[in-house]
A and B are shown apart, each in its own frame.
Chain A
Amino acid sequence: MKKTFFLLAAATALAGIAVPASAQGMDKVKACFIYVGPVGDFGWSYQHDQGRQYVVEQLGDKIETAYLESVPEGADAERAIERFARSGCNIIFTTSFGYMDQTNKVAKDFPDVKFEHATGYKREHPNVATYDSRFYEGRYVLGQIAAKMSKVGTAGYIGSFPIPEVIQGINSFMLGAQSIDPDFKVKVIWSNTWFDPGKEADAAKALLDQGADILTQHTDSTAPMQVAAERGALAFGQASNMYNFGKETQLTAIVDEWGPYYLERISAVLDGTWEQSATWGGMADGHVVMADYTNMPDDVKAMAEETEASITSGEFHPFTGPITKQDGSEWLAEGEVADDGALSGMNFYVKGIDDQLQQ
């Protein structure tokens, strides 16, 4: 691209005319995606691929896409990203937290390629942008519903890895629940995997066996929803709408909508206006969407809708003080709102969670 630009600049200089702003853009863009799970996980990777397909629909023949699925986090990811960078991709979306260092490493060697890393916080080179969604906004609503709907006052939470994004979710869920029932309990199991239906099902069973009657998850398969359905418990869908797996079980689901963001960023590459950024879209941006509220009485539904509306309008932030840390120390004073920096590095629990984080 640098070369093209140089040629263009030379040509314009010769012709003596002004370069229109779009001259740095391109006619056709190749966008590439790296997924941590299979596109058929019906969860996280599935939703990213839905986003990719959305952009293809919108841009038609101006875009060519490619994707690699089930790319393990770590050294393999670096090879995959580099392969894409070499194969002529103009923009590469790496869609899992564990690709963070690899993305930055490859970006250094390919300054002309744009890199977009999901859920991370490192932007070491000007061609690396990060993006994420404020899933915790949805989790607060889930927590409130859980506290209203649980008969025993205990929810089971299946976590993947103890990283800030997941911890944010657990805390937000707990804060939501505590806003209804101050004694609400959350049991946490870390599966140490993003995707393993069998293991997720086992974790769900263990949580239900130990007395939880509502499940929520931060892993990618529909297995926990099915276990809940089988046992007559309640559950929340994750990443995509899992209603079909628990018609009498799903209360709602946090649905990730990546399409609009992908369209915006890929169009920016086409126009030549792409710039480094750190996007953190939430309900207000349409990145976090709640599935229909089902299997709950009208008053609970009304409460959930109200909370959703006040988060969307910006009137309410789930992390608003007073909030106490698990160890009893004060984190946020009355009325104080957490800033994004504190949230994206979150490595502690709020008070009341029945689990300990390893530091």
Chain B
Amino acid sequence: MDMTQAIILTIMTAATPLLLAAIGELVVERSGVLNLGVEGMMVMGAVTAFAVAQLTGSAGLGAIAGLLAGMVFSVLFGFLTLTLVANQVATGLALTILGLGLSGMIGESFIGLPGLKLATIEIPLLSDIPFFGRLLFDQDPIFYTSIVAVVGVNWFLFKSRAGLRLRAIGDSHSSAHALGVKVVRARYLAVMFGGACAGLAGAHLSIVYTPQWVENMTAGRGWIALALVVFASWRPSRALAGAYLFGAVSIGQLHAQALGLGISSQFLSALPYLATIAVLVIISLNRRMTLINTPASLGKSFVPER
């Protein structure tokens, strides 16, 4: 493996959890729900995946458990905001705080234990392609899932009938309701999908990225994923581009430092965020396009009229 490959590989590892969590949240927001609890669901996924991997000796089971943990945690959010119609922003924030605390408690006995790493799956023939073969087709299952999720969500949102309904709910839940669409049920499913993606993203952190459990190991990645959704203007392909751009700039700045180029490290550390802002500004120059993609009912509670 040469250095370029090594760098690309590092970028891919850094981008995968961001991409997964962002793609899940993108579907949630397309349905008109704003779940700020991504960080909490992610960290629950991370601790559950690590714990299950330790107890069963299988990192694969850990990944599945992480996914389920995120999903279960998101149902809690769904129950509060969709059934009890609590404020989405407050509930999402509470979910993050609860997740960080609860995961610390669950994970206490797992601190200081080296973890299991999810094995890579080599896809025959394709992995023999020079240069890109090893990079793209000899990866861990969570990486593959993240790519499949982007393609799948893109197809679902823009090519399927159910996706059209989901977008309609996100744009105007009252109209969708009047047309007989089951708003709450669809939103529950979207929230659970978001939870599953966040949970799996967390699992990636604790069994692929850095196979260990330490409290608060998500270190703000859930928030970056949330920002990526806006950055992507709610389009899956742009979320992919955003996650990889963010990953590339964060890894690139580390290499720039190691080369001893003499650029201020504080500036370099801020670069990924500056790049994000720059792209956001460019995107929002076209106001009309931004509005078309923004779910109009985002964050608004829905109470069916009788």
Chain A residues in the interface with B (C-beta under 8 A):
37-42, 46, 69-70, 156, 162, 187-193, 195-203, 205-207, 209-210, 221-223, 226-227, 230, 244-245, 354-356, 358
Contacts and interface: CB of A to CB of B under 8 A. Distances in A.
B219 A195 contact: yes
Interface stretch (B75-83, B106-114, B141-149): B106-114
Contacts of B7: 206, 209
Contacts of B276: none
B258 A187 contact: yes
Nearest to A40: B215
B260 A70 contact: no
Contacts of B254: 189, 202-203, 206
Nearest to B11: A202
A42 B215 CA distance: 9
**Number of chain B interface residues as a range:** 35 or more
A240 B299 CA distance: 45
B262 interface: yes
B257 A156 contact: no
Given A38-B214, A40-B108, A202 B113 contact: no
A209 B3 contact: yes
Contact of B219 (A156, A188, A198, A358): A198
Nearest to B111: A40
B14 A190 contact: no
Nearest to A240: B112
Nearest to A358: B264
Across the A-B interface, give the 4 residue pairs with the lowest CB-CB distance, nearest first. Answer: A38-B215, A190-B265, A40-B215, A192-B269
Interface of B: 3, 6-7, 10, 13-14, 17, 104, 107-108, 111-114, 117, 205, 209-217, 219-221, 250-251, 254-255, 257-260, 262, 264-266, 269
Contacts of B221: 198
Contacts of B251: 202, 206
A187 B212 CA distance: 26
A40 B6 CA distance: 30
Nearest to B107: A40
Nearest to A245: B114
A221 B113 CA distance: 12
B14 A198 contact: yes
Contacts of A196: 219-220
Nearest to A158: B254
B10 A202 contact: yes
A197 B217 contact: yes
A295 to B, nearest CB: 16
A156 B258 CA distance: 8
Nearest to A244: B114
Nearest to B105: A40
Contact of A38 (B14, B104, B258, B260): B104
A206 B7 CA distance: 7
A70 B215 CA distance: 10
B212 A202 contact: no
23 contacts: A37-B216, A38-B104, A38-B215, A41-B215, A162-B265, A187-B260, A189-B254, A189-B258, A191-B269, A192-B265, A197-B219, A201-B210, A206-B251, A206-B255, A207-B258, A210-B3, A222-B212, A222-B214, A223-B210, A226-B210, A227-B210, A245-B114, A355-B257
Contact of A209 (B6, B108, B114, B264): B6
A223 B255 contact: no
B14 A202 contact: yes
Given A206-B251, A245-B114, A355 B260 contact: yes
Nearest to A203: B254
A244 to B, nearest CB: 6
B263 to A, nearest CB: 9
A210 B2 CA distance: 11
Centre residue among A193, A205, A221 by max chain B CB count within 10 A? A205
Nearest to B17: A198
B250 A202 contact: yes
A40 B106 CA distance: 11
Contacts of A162: 265
Contacts of A203: 254
Given A202-B251, A358-B265, 10 more contacts: A37-B215, A190-B269, A205-B6, A206-B255, A207-B258, A221-B212, A222-B212, A230-B117, A244-B113, A355-B257
Contacts of B260: 187-188, 354-356
A354 B256 CA distance: 12
A197 B111 contact: no
B205 A198 contact: yes
A355 to B, nearest CB: 5
Nearest to A224: B210
A202 B217 CA distance: 14
Contacts of B262: 355-356
